[in-house]
Structure 1
Amino acid sequence: METIQTMASDVVVTLVLALIGLLAAYATYGIRKLTEKVKAQTAQLKDEEARRLLNNALQDVEELTTVTVAAIEQTTAKSLREAVKDGKVDRSELVALSKQAAEEISAALKPEAQKIIEENLGSFKDYLSKLIEEKVLELKAMTQ
């Protein structure tokens, strides 16, 4: 009888230890899944924040470009374009206006915005140059 009680006790201890091991494995699995979920949510938040920062930077550049190009168009470019047509002035002076606009916009824009654009779109100068040309075309279309 004592042998049976000892064997039964050993079986119960073995079952309890197995159950504890199984619970520990489930707990570890649950913790790992929860950690992965938190990491994914954190990455998603970072992506959303980066996207928001990029959109804000692009809006700032576009607004600055619109204002700067409009001001240059109003004060200089229109008369300079006519002088180029008449042959009084070289076309390189019109190109210089584009460089002037790019310099003014770059000086007015925060360096962080330029950095964000470069990280996401490549060269800020190339982007700005294309945006300036687009705004010049829009202004020409509106005035014609």
Structure 2
Amino acid sequence: MKRLGLAVAAVLMSASVGFAQSGEVRLSKEPFAVNAERLSSYLQLTPGQYNEVANINAYFIEKQNESIKSSSKLQAKKMHQAVYGNLKLMKKTLTSEQYRKYVVLLNITNNNNRLMGINAIPDVYLADNK
């Protein structure tokens, strides 16, 4: 009976160690680095929209990197400009239904990032553009 208890304890310990290793969080300085293929599938983009969204996403990542590299005083302002610029470009490219889904996706991602302790943007940036 003792052996069975020790075996169960060993299995539980190894499972918890495996879970802890697979659950490692990579801290990203880019809160919204989106995979364009997954986004295309989720939003059901046309081929023309796909190219445009991929370009907008690359531009958004570039602007986020600029905000991260700037001084702490300018960081919030530059992130604000990056988010609003992204949303403005996406609104022109996507249909109203696709845009609504995109904003919901950004909000969910932002909330998850905040819960995991990863960089997140203030809610006011996303709330104004619904």
TM score, norm. by length of structure 2: 0.36
Give the alignment's TM-score, normalised by structure 1: 0.33
Higher helix share: 1
Higher Cα Rg: structure 1 or 2? 1
